[in-house]
Structure formats: structure tokens, C-alpha cells
Structure 1
Amino acid sequence: MQTRLPILFFALVMAAIPFVPGMPPFWIVLLDNIGLAALVAMGLVLLTGVGGLTSFGQAAFVGFGAYTTAVLSTAYGLSPWLTLPLSLLVSGLFSVLLGLITVRLSGHYLPLGTLAWGLGLFYLFSKLEFLGRNDGISAIPPLSIGSFKMLDPGSIYYAVWAAVILSALVTMNLLDSRTGRAIRALRRGHVAAEAFGVHTPRAKLLVFIHAAVLAGLSGWLYAHMQRAVNPTPFGAQAGIEYLFIAVVGGAGYVWGGVLGAAIVVILKEVLQSYLPLILPGSGQVETIVFGIMLVALLQLAPGGVWPWLMSFLPQKANGKKPDTSLTLPARARAPGQGNVLLQVEKARKQFGGVIAVNNVSFDVQAREIVALIGPNGAGKSTTFNLITGVLSATSGSISVLGRKVDKAPPQEIVKLGISRTFQHVKLVPDMTVFENVAIGAHLRGHSGPVSSMLRLDRADEAKLLAEAARQIERVGLADQMHQLAGSLSLGQQRIVEIARALCVDPMLLLLDEPAAGLRHMEKQRLAALLRELRDGGMSVLLVEHDMGFVMNLADRIVVLDFGTKIAEGTPATIKTNPEVIKAYLGVAA
């Protein structure tokens, strides 16, 4: 409830503004324009700031919303309120068609792709006869409620800002959910997200659709406010400006989109109104000054104005601890001791002329800790990637409980009860430890994006968060639960990764150098935890360079050298193996 009080206060302030004595009508028009820009910017906050997908084409989706209602309300006589769902539907459908192609692009190809179709759609708006070509469509009916018609900026003001506030609530609800955590994990790359069951193309398409629908809503309101549309506001320049608004306000912050819209719209208006009086006959000098001022603003607040302002406010106390009495259904248990969970048979991975893994065979049985050791470059992490579906084997086979998985994607591997950590830590640094760990329980939740937006996912969400809290306490990081993951030491971040992997409730846990960066006592606690997991029925396959840690922990050890298995056996056997001593342990061992 406390998190909603500032929104309620903001809504009351915005509702009171038109009643301020002496309020110039021009400022109401300006606030209408700010609200319309804020809707598009909020979508870009989710798309670019949270999802990591840069788009220069959002103005085209504003055009879809505007032109849909313009055509339906003028040519077919539909009520503007009836055209609203159709405007949003058209924007959403086109976002699906464009998104299926665009979201698969990466690097600089993604923004270039959005710029390309943004230019193409702007051209279509200006050339299609039924859209009025360059002249557009006029005589669009105003919004009305009964006999009350919203003919002036002051009357449509409430519709615009009601849309802004409701959209902000819906977007924040989405981010504060299982789906939202999956979206936020995308910014740090897809490998870690997919390892816990996130379908990254689907998650990217979801944010693409959400941003397009908000832009379509802005276009619908724009058409009925202006009561005429033409292609000019939906071109590439407008698309770039919307992205700039999101960046100035703070990409990644929902209310940053609103603040950014206010800053950019007001700054442009002030410069266009007063700069010609100071520098008469100077042409478009306001555009140059506008650019210089915004660059200076970003120098002051490189992360955006909203987080910069928030940094001056007192920091909130740690979040409320979840009710850990809530539990998720346990996954299917692993078979009894002595049964083979994982079977790797002659697995081979070749990158061009380099053989990273050379016909390696070994198995992991139930209730067993197996260590995979070898010098740097021996192929250990590549073997992990083959087992978890990050890479596909060139030849050979990998089976889990007798089922071949060597061609399965990571999302299918984790469903079988196999979770992992990474050699190079893959956490989202600007999310809390709590939120990072909760990503591990992604597949154990069932609420979708619509139920998240409408806040119908609370029971499911409470169980996921309770599981995350339990695993954080289990690994001994309860005091750091609400700290940002990026603020922890490397060793603590590795422990966070273990807690995240345990949220899967796995039957087989793969740990890639879990003891790296840990102090002696921390290593002892980690070893005790892994023994406890093994005694509880879980198997562990770990890669580690600390031989004291491995020898005192592992039941069996597999040794790789240049991608080839050179030995396998108990710690006592491995210690005395001549080939292992020569390749890895050294004569002193």
C-alpha cells in the first residue's frame, strides 16, 4: 500500500491542476502533450531501459493507433470509445509481425532494423490513399461521455492523464512479477535467463508488444485531441525524440518516462518561444541550443534525471521479509543411490579446427558429488555448456535418466531438474539479491503477464518469493537479501548464484568454480552445504581449481586435459595418478 501512496498523491495533484486560479490554457495543452509523450516513453522504458532492446520506430506505432481510430470513426462512423480496443489491437498485431523479425536481431542491427521499418511505415502513411496521403484525415469526432464532448484541451486532459497513471500502474505491476524479473534478466544476456527456463524470444516479444500498445494508446488520444492526423508526427525524427525522452528521464524507471517527457516538451516549448526574442533572425538555433542543453543534462545525470533526483532522497529501509511458511510443490525426486542421473558418452565439441571436448565419457549417479578438474582450457566449462544445452555437441550423446538431451535447449534441460552456476558470474547487478535468486524459481510459477498486470498473481508470487528467501537463508546471505547484487563481493555473488540454482529444486546441481573468491571459512560452509544437499538426495557436478576443497569433498573426480579425459576415480586414486600429476597437480603433489 505504501508504494501506491505516492501515485495516489500524484493523481490528486494532476486532477487539481486545471482548477488552479489563473492557470493559462496553454499550460493545459502542454500537459496534454507531456502525457501523450509519456505514454510512449513508458513503453520505451520497458523495451529499452529494462529489456535492453533499442527502438527508433515507436512513432510508427503511435501512427497505427491514430490512423486506426481516424479511419474507423470518420469513414465507418464508429464511436471513438469503440475504436480504442481496435486501435490497440492494430498496434499490437503490427508489433507482433515486426517484433518476430526485429527481436531476433542483436547488437547495432536491432536499432537499425527498427529505424528501417519506422522509415518504411512513415512512407506508407504518406502514400496510402485511404489514409489521406500527406494531407491525412480530418474531422475526427471528439471523445464524449453522454452529451459531454471533450472538445478542448482542458476536457481531454483527464482522459490523457488517467491513461498515463493507469499505464504506469500496469507497467509497474508487470515489472514486479515473475514475468518482470524474466524481462529484467534479458539486459545481461540470454544465457543465464535461458538456464532457468526463460524463453527469451517470447519475453522480448512481450515487451515489444507492451511498448507498441502504449504507443498506440497515445496515438488514439492524439487523434481525438487534435481531431486530425497526418504523417508528420509519426516519422523517424519523432521516434528518435521518444527514445531521447526515455533516456533523459531515466531508461529503466517508469516514472522517469513521465519526467523525461516533461523536461523535453517544456524545454522545447520554452526555447521555441523565447530564444527568437533573444537571438532574432537566427533560424533554427533553438534546435542547437536544445541539443546542447540536453547533452549537458546527461553529463550531470548520465543515468537519467529520475534516478539522479531519487539519489537525494533518504534510502528506503530493507524490504519486508516474505512469509517463508509458504511452499511450492516439490519437483519429482531423483532415483535412489546407485542410479545414473547423467550419462555423458563420447561427447565431442569442435569449433572449426579447435577440439574443445574430445570424446569425453563419464556419469553422475544419484546422491553423489563428482568433480571435474583440469588445467585452464581443459574443456571443463565447455562440457558444462554441452550438458546444460548452451552448446550442442558435435558428436556423442548426453542423457538424463536415460533420455537423450544433447540437442535440447537450456529451457528443456532445466525442466528435467538440472540447474547451474557460471564460471563468470551472471547476475543482474542492479537487481537485489532477492530478485536475482527469485529468477531461479521461474519455472515453478504459473502466472502470466496479463494476470501480473492486473495484480492477480499475488498468491503465486508469494510462494516464489518465499522459496527465494529460504534459499538465501540456506546459503547464509540473509543479511544481504535486499542489497543490490552488484554491490556484493565476487565470492558472495557466487553464493547468490548457488541460491538461485537451488530455487529450481534440482536433482543435479552443476557448479562452475563455486569456491573462487571465497575465504577459508566460507569454503568450509560451502562444503558443508554441498554435503547436506548430497545427503538430502541431490547430486552435484562441480568444476573447481582448489584441490584441497575438491579432495575433501568429492566422491569421484574426472580429470580433463586439452579436452580429453585422462583419469577418473576417487580422490585417493587421483592424487597418485602419474598422468594427473604430470598434467595438473604437479610433482610436488
Structure 2
Amino acid sequence: MIRLLFVVLLALLPILPTPEFWITLGNYIGLYAIVALGLVLLTGVGGMTSFGQAAFVGLGAYATAYLTTHFGWSPWIGLLAGLAITAAAAFALGAITMRLSGHYLPLGTIAWGLSLFFLFGNLEFLGKYDGLNGIPPVDFFGLTLQSGRAMFYLIWAVVIVAVVALQNLLNSRSGRAIRALNGSGLMAEAMGVNTTWMKIVCFVIAALLACISGWLYAHMQRAVNPTPFGLNAGIEYLFMAVVGGAGYVWGALLGSALLTILKDQLQSLLPKLLGSNGNFEMIVFGLMMVLLLQRARTGLWPVLRGWLPQQVGVQAPATAAALPRRDRPAVGSVALQVRLARKEFGGLVAVNDMEFVVHAGEILGLIGPNGAGKSTMFNLVTGVLPLTSGQILFQGERIDTLPSREIVRRGIGRTFQHVRLLPTMSVLENVAIGAHLRGSAGVAASILRTDRKEEQRLLFDAARQLDRVGLAHLAQEEAGSLALGQQRILEIARALCCDPTLLLLDEPAAGLRYQEKLALADLLRTLKAEGLSILLVEHDMDFVMNLTDRLVVMEFGTRIAEGLPSEVQNNPAVLEAYLGGID
């Protein structure tokens, strides 16, 4: 209802006797919001800070300005040309920049943003710093959009389409992968997500939105010059996204409206108060940003949203076609074989020529004292770390040269020693990330909602796995609100969504109460009966001894014992190194 009222208000605003000043201000808010929406996807959701979006606005503006003024082409051809140029430039820049991390990433965006800004100002055919004039208005089905009131509808139609498109994208298989980029890249790769590609996709989408804003700006102003496309403008766009709520689509509109109106009022008020002219509003913005980061780090939209009626989150259907499942290997056959696996970190040998085998339909325990190299061994098997020497084979295929996302595609699912979840996403959506590799719909299908059938199947399977592990009643809760033990069980459900034939569990019973451990043991026995192989790291010896078929014991990266639990329990070397006096 609120969204409908918003659209109705936008439709009536140019018809009502609204002062021209407010129509113009509304146009600029819409133009800024389009760019800020791209930053919500790139920075707020994807976690990649960019100060250079204004340069992409310039690419869209200059492309249409040059083609329409020098060759007389239609503005719509100018839009297509601008999108093509921007996509090519963003892909090339993104392939380089998005590989950076930490402070290098924003510094990289500043560098190419400044480069494009000075390029606009130094190219003769673009008019250098004088720019290009005489840009024709947009012709829309025979209607010439010459006035600001006429452009208002086109600008805000683009804003609404962009909002709907981003919401569709974020509530999809691709959207969950994008949300996993922000601090959970390791987990995303382990679930089959090509994180490098998804970062580039986010970068290109954000750049294309900025390009469209530039195209609209050029045909509204009928002239362009480099001034609006510099670093200051890029910082302002980022301010808008952060102030409104960088992780929220509607936050982009809120931030754009708030800062645009505030900037206009401050430009009129501050010179009267201070007695001189200057960009004093930037000082106020800086103080606002400091205060905001102290009081409302997620922006103003989450605060405002708390006063609005809450919407139901993503839900699984009551029924859907089952996802295809991979064949399980014959029970007793070799599932995983580790041959002389060695991992060195400089002069430290973390894993020293380890050898062991996991059979299909078997629960194998990997135990040892803290620092024995168990988690490192897990990371070697799943491709998180490369081997220094040796081999790892899964169902006869060597996998130690493959990245994590390819290893999970072959049927190895895992959990983590330190829980890796997306805390603000629902439990259901967290589990559905595990089904990422079982879908095929891309970003375009997500935006256009042509992936609905596949999405229903993915969510249905996620709900089924939640029911198997006993968390179905928490499907709509935020994952971060769960107790540690429940989060570990959630990770198992997510790993099961990968449809693995080998499941690697890193301390799954840590943080569980006694009854929860019994339920987990029953679940693992059920999975074993279904033909699933399980490699288990755990420090709870009662849990391990009563569950596993065989044990491998590590100390200082070396295998010191292997055999049945009863044999290992009485092994003198094991007793001395680890078990200490278990009866």
C-alpha cells in the first residue's frame, strides 16, 4: 500500500500546480537515486566500496551528447551506445579493480574515476572543459520531452524499474550469492559461487545504472561538461547510499532525497549565517557522516522501516518439483583418498605427508589435539588451501588442483570450524545458498523473474533440509539471532543442500546441549544409511567414539594412529598425545 501511494504521488506531482523548482529538485533526486541504487548493490550488499561512479555517469552523458550533436543520431541510439561503452569499460576496470581488497579497492576506484574525469576534460572532440551543447530532447513515441515536467515521468519511471529490478535480483539465487560476497566469500566459494565473476557482475550493473542516469541528465540539461563527473560527485553519491542505508534498496531513494534537499537548503542558508560564499555544505555533510556512523551505522532506512508494517520474508512453497540428485557411490568403495598430503607455511609444516581413505557410506573421525592440523587438512580437501605436495583424489579424480567451487560441484559439502553465516538473512535463505550450484538461472533471469520455477525448487529443497535437521520452525528468523549450536546445525542443512556424497563436518557438536548432540548423532547415522560418506573433526570424545566407524589421529600434522574407535582408544601413542586416560 505504501509503495502504491508513493507511485500515485509521483504521478500526480507534475500535474498538480507544483512549483517548477520542486519539479527540478525531484528530477535531480531521481537522477541521483539511480546511481545510488547501483551503489546499494555494489557497496551496501556486495561490500565493494567505489568512489568512481560519477565517471560512469559521465560516460553515459558524453556518449549520447557526442552522437546526437555530431551525427544527429537519435538519443535512444545514444543510450545504447553509452550502455555498450560503459559495459565494456566497467568489465575491463572491474576485472582489475574487483580483485583488490582492503583499502586498495577504494583507492583503485578513485584512480580510474579521476582518470576518466580528466579524459573528459582533455579530449578535443568532447569540447574539453567547455563540454558539448545543443543536445536534443528525448522523443518518446512522438512526444518530445522538452520540459522538466515531461522528463520527470521518464526519470522516475527509470527509478521505479531499477528498484523493482534490484529487488527481484536480491531475492533470487544470484542475489543470495551477491549478498554472500560481503565478508563471506570463502563460504560462498565453498557453496559453488564464482565470487570473482559475481563481483564483476555487480560492478557492471552499478556502472550501467550510472550510465542511464548520465543519459537522462544530458537530455534534461541539453549540455554536458566534466564538472558533474568528478571525484566530489562520486563521494556525494556514496554519501547518499550510506546515509539512506547502503544495504537497502529504498535507502538509496531516502538518502538521495535527504541529501539533495539538505544540500539545496544549506547552500542558501550557510552563506547568510557565515557571511561568505563557499562549499560549506560539505563540512556539514562530513559532520553528519561522523554522527551517522556513530549512531546509525546501517543508515536511516532501517530506522524508518521499523515504523512501517513489516513484510513477510522469502518463503518456501508448500510443494515443488524435486531437484535432481547425484548418484551415491557403492557402499564400501573409496570415496576420498589422501596421498602424502603436505602443507607448509614458510618453515612451518602444518600437515606432514598425511595419508588416509574415506569409504562410501562410512563415518570417519579425524581427531587430535588443538593445532594438530585437522582444520588445515579440511581446507586442503576442499580447495581453500593449495597442497605443497602430495595428492587428493575424490572418486578416482584428482581434486587438489581445483578451486573450492569446482570441488563442491563434484560432491563434497562442508561446514566450518568458525560458523560462517549471513546473519541478517533468514535461516531459509542461508540454507538455500547451499543449493546455488544446483540452479542455473543467471542475473538477467533473476531481474526479469523468469527464474521463478527454479527458485521455488531451490527454496523447497532448503526447507526440506531444515526440516531434516529440526530447524523448520526457525525458517523465517534471522540467522544471526540463533544460538551457536543452532547455527552449527544450520550449516549442516546448508551443506546438505549441496547434495554431497561426502560431507565434511568441522566440530559440529561444539555448543550443542546433550539432547541436541543425540539428535545430531541420529541425523548423521541416517545420512550414513542413505549412503553418504562423512569426515568428522570433533573434540567431544564421547560423541566421536559412539558415532564413528573408524578414526584417524593427528599430532603436529602427522598421522599417529588409525583404526576402530576401540583400537584407537587404547593405543599408547594416542593416549600419550591426546586422550590422556579415557577408559
TM range (shorter): over 0.9
Shift in Å at residue 351 of structure 1?
Answer: 0.4
Matched to 2:42, the amino acid is L
**Offset at residue 184 of structure 1 (A):** 0.4
C-alpha distance in 1 between matches for 2:320 and 2:153: 44
Structure 2 equivalent of residue 11 of structure 1: 7
Secondary structure, aligned partner of 2:325: coil
Residue 483 of structure 2 corresponds to residue 489 of structure 1:
yes
The letter for the 1-side match of 2:338 is: V
Instruction: Name the CA distance, whole Å, in 2 between partners of 1:282 and 1:226.
Output: 25
Q: Are the aligned partners of 1:250 and 1:303 in contact in 2 as well (CA < 8 Å)?
A: yes
Among 321, 324, 329, which residue is 1:329 paired with?
Answer: 324
Indicate the residue corresponding to 1:260 in structure 2. Answer: 255
- 1:356 corresponds in structure 2 to 350
Residue 525 (structure 1) aligned with residue 522 (structure 2): no
Residue 113 in 1 paired to residue 108 in 2?
Answer: yes
Could you tell me which residue of structure 1 aligns to residue 86 of structure 2?
91
Residue 443 (structure 2) pairs with residue 456 (structure 1): no
- Name the CA distance, whole Å, in 2 between partners of 1:113 and 1:382: 33
Structure 1 residue 297: Cα displacement: 4.4
TM-score, scaled relative to structure 2: 0.98
Deviations 1:22-41 (A, max 9, x none): x1100000000000000000
Contact 2:550–2:565, Cα closer than 8 Å, also in 1: yes
Query: CA offset at residue 334 of structure 1?
Result: 2.3
Q: How many residues align?
A: 583
Instruction: Give the aligned residue type for 2:77.
Output: L
Matched, 1:220 2:188: no
* 1:30–1:472 CA distance, 2 compared to 1 (3 A): same
Contact 1:188 1:427 in 2 (8 A): no
Question: For 1:278 and 1:57, how far apart are their aligned partners in 2?
Answer: 33
1:149 Cα offset (Å): 2.0
Alignment of structure 1 residues 178-217 onto 2, 5 Å = 178-217=173-212
Question: Percent identity among equivalent residues?
Answer: 59
- Range 414-423 or range 314-323, more displaced: 314-323
Distance 2:582 2:464 in 1: 43
How far residue 337 of structure 1 moved from its aligned partner, in angstroms, is 1.5
Gap runs ≥5 in structure 2? none
**Aligned twin of 1:541:** 535
Please tell me the residue identity of whatever aligns with 1:586: G
Change beyond 3 A, Cα 1:374–1:146: closer
Aligned 8 A contact 1:188 1:426 in 2 = no
Q: 1:391 aligns with which of 385, 391, 394?
A: 385
The letter of the residue matching 1:17 is L
1:53 paired residue among 48, 51, 61: 48
Contact 2:315–2:459 under 8 Å retained in 1: no
- Equivalent residues of 2:247, 2:298 under 8 A apart: no
Partner AA of 1:260 in structure 2: G
Q: Is the alpha carbon distance of 1:342 and 1:297 closer, same or farther for their aligned partners in structure 2, counting shifts above 3 Å?
A: closer
Cα 1:31–1:111, aligned 2, differ >3 Å: closer, same or farther? same
User: 1:386 is paired with a residue of what secondary structure?
Assistant: helix
1:90 Cα deviation from its structure 2 partner: 1.3
2:437 corresponding residue in structure 1:
443
Tell me the distance in 2 between the aligned counterparts of 1:213 and 1:313. 31
Cα distance, 1:146 vs structure 2: 5.0
1:560 match: secondary structure: strand
1:424 aligns with 2:392: no
In 2, Cα distance between the equivalents of 1:456 and 1:336?
38
The alignment status of 1:339 with 2:333, answered yes or no, reads: yes
The change in CA–CA distance for 1:109 and 1:319 in structure 2 (over 3 A counts) is closer
Asked whether the 8 Å contact 2:342–2:390 carries over to 1, the reply is yes
The equivalent of 1:237 in structure 2 is 232
Corresponding letter in the other structure for 1:25: E
Aligned to 2:373: 379
User: Which position in structure 1 is the counterpart of 2:158?
Assistant: 163
Q: Quote the residue 1:469 is aligned against.
A: 463
1:404 maps to 398
Letter paired with 1:128: L
For the 8 Å contact 2:340–2:389, the answer to whether it is kept is: yes
- State the match for 1:135 in structure 2: 130
CA contact (8 A) 1:432 1:481 kept: yes
In the alignment, the residues of structure 2 paired with residue 8 and residue 438 of structure 1 have an alpha-carbon distance, to the nearest angstrom, of 31
d(CA) in 2 for partners of 1:294 and 1:406?
47
Give the direction of change, closer, same or farther, for the CA distance of 1:290–1:48 in structure 2 (3 Å limit): closer
How far did 1:282 drift? 5.7
Q: Give, as a single letter, the amino acid of the residue that structure 2 aligns with 1:56.
A: F
Aligned to 1:286: 281
Name the CA shift for 1:346/1:470 in 2 (closer, same or farther; >3 Å): same
Distance change >3 Å, CA 119–CA 319, structure 1 → 2: closer
3-state SS of paired residue (1:423): coil
Structure 1 residue 278: deviation in Å? 3.4
- Contact 1:271–1:290 under 8 Å retained in 2: no
Q: 2:58 aligns with which of 63, 66, 87?
A: 63
Displacement of 1:408 in angstroms is 0.9
CA–CA distance in 1 between the matches of 2:236 and 2:90?
Answer: 20
Cα distance in 2 between the residues matched to 1:282 and 1:220 = 31
Measure, in 1, the Cα distance between the counterparts of 2:332 and 2:315: 43
- Render the CA deviation track for 1:28-63: whole Å, top value 9, x for unaligned: 000000000000000000000000100000000000
**Residue by residue, what CA displacement relative to the aligned partner does 1:337-367 show, whole Å, maximum 9, x if unpaired?**
2100000011000000100000000000010
Change (3 A) 1:454 1:339: same
Q: Is the 8 A contact 2:316 2:459 kept in 1?
A: no
Question: CA shift at 1:487, angstroms?
Answer: 0.7
Q: Within 2, Cα distance between the matches of 1:273 and 1:241? A: 18
Matched residue type, 1:363:
V
CA distance, structure 1, for counterparts of residue 331 and residue 288 of structure 2? 68
* Alignment partners' CA distance in 1, 2:292 and 2:418: 35
Contact kept, 8 Å, 2:184 with 2:421, in 1: the verdict is no
Counterpart AA for 2:512 = L
> How far apart, in 1, do the equivalents of 2:296 and 2:582 lie?
56
Choose from 553, 558, 565 the match for 1:559.
553
Contact 2:340 2:353 in 1 (8 A): yes
* Match among 495, 507, 527 for residue 501 of structure 1: 495
1:96 counterpart SS class? helix
Change over 3 Å in CA distance of 1:63–1:468 after alignment to 2 = same
Taking the aligned partners of 2:189 and 2:106, their CA distance within structure 1 comes to 23
In structure 1, the residue corresponding to 2:181 is in which secondary structure?
helix
Report the CA distance between 1:432 and its aligned residue: 0.8
Instruction: Report if the CA contact (8 A) 1:267-1:290 is conserved.
Output: no
SS at match of 2:318: coil
**C-alpha separation in 2, matches of 1:401 and 1:286:** 64
Q: Aligned partners of 2:385, 2:350: CA distance in 1, in Å?
A: 12
Q: Determine if contact 1:323/1:462 at 8 Å carries over to the other structure.
A: no
Distance 2:532 2:143 in 1: 67
User: What is the CA–CA distance in structure 2 between the aligned matches of 1:575 and 1:125, rounded to whole Å?
Assistant: 74
Name the SS for the 1:18 alignment partner.
coil
2 CA distance for matches of 1:283 and 1:228?
A: 24
The alpha carbon displacement at 1:561 in A equals 0.3
Shift of 1:284: 3.8
CA distance, structure 1, for counterparts of residue 310 and residue 142 of structure 2: 49
Contact 1:324 1:470 in 2 (8 A): no
Offset, 1:87: 1.4
The one-letter code of the counterpart of 1:13 is L
What is the distance in 2 between the residues matched to 1:448 and 1:286?
A: 42
The 1-side partners of 2:280 and 2:564 are apart by: 77
Q: Distance in 2 between matches of 1:319 and 1:287?
A: 40
Flag the 1:357–1:156 CA change in 2: closer, same or farther, 3 A. same
Q: How big is each residue's C-alpha offset from its partner over 1:111-161, in whole Å with a ceiling of 9 and x where there is no partner?
A: 000001111111111001111100000000011235532222111000100
